[in-house]
Structure 1
Amino acid sequence: MTNDQILNKLIYNQKKVTYSNISDIFELNFKKISRLIPLLPSIKDDFVGIKKPSNDLFLLCHNKAPYTGTYTLTHKIKSQEIIINRPDICFKIYFDARLLEVTSICKETRINDSHPLITDCSDLAFQLELNLFMLRWLDYCLERYNGAEWSKSK
Structure 2
Amino acid sequence: MLVTDHKTRLHGRQNDLSDLMAIYECNYIRLRQLLRELDAYALDTSYVSQAARALDLHLHLHERSRYTTTLSLTYLFQDALGEFPAPDIRVRLYHDARLAEVIACGRRRGRRDAVYDRMRNRYSLDRKWHMNRFLQKWLGYCLRQGHRFLPPGEADAALPDWEGLAGGPLR
TM-score, length of structure 1 as denominator length: 0.74
RMSD (CA atoms)? 2.4
| 1:86 correspondence with 2:98 | no
Match of 1:67 in 2: 67
Deviation at 1:142, TM superposition (A): 0.5
Q: 2:29 aligns with which of 25, 28, 31?
A: 31
Q: CA contact under 8 A between 1:47 and 1:150: conserved in structure 2?
A: no
Match of 2:135 in 1: 134
Q: CA contact under 8 A between 2:31 and 2:139: conserved in structure 1?
A: yes
Give SS of 1:63's match: strand
| 1:77 correspondence with 2:84 | no
Match of 2:145 in 1: 144
Query: Aligned equivalents of 1:54 and 1:72: distance in 2?
Result: 18
Worse-matched range after superposition: 77-86 or 141-150: 141-150
Query: Aligned equivalents of 1:34 and 1:14: distance in 2?
Result: 32
Q: CA contact under 8 A between 1:29 and 1:100: conserved in structure 2?
A: yes
Q: CA contact under 8 A between 1:49 and 1:150: conserved in structure 2?
A: no
Q: CA contact under 8 A between 1:47 and 1:60: conserved in structure 2?
A: yes
Give SS of 1:108's match: strand
> How many pairs align?
131
- Cα deviation digits, residues 6-54 of structure 1 (max 9, x gap): xxxxx83352222111000000011111111113244333322123342
1:47-58 matches, cutoff 5 A: 47-58=47-58
Question: Which structure 2 segments of 5+ residues have no match?
Answer: 1-8, 107-113, 118-122, 154-171
Worse-matched range after superposition: 100-109 or 125-134: 100-109
Q: 1:16 aligns with which of 9, 14, 18?
A: 14
Query: Aligned equivalents of 1:50 and 1:151: distance in 2?
Result: 14
* Structure with the greater alpha carbon radius of gyration: 2
- Cα deviation digits, residues 40-93 of structure 1 (max 9, x gap): 244333322123342221111111112101111001112245111011011100
Query: Aligned equivalents of 1:108 and 1:38: distance in 2?
Result: 29
TM-score, length of structure 2 as denominator length: 0.67
Query: Aligned equivalents of 1:149 and 1:63: distance in 2?
Result: 19
Query: Aligned equivalents of 1:61 and 1:76: distance in 2?
Result: 16
Match of 2:115 in 1: 108
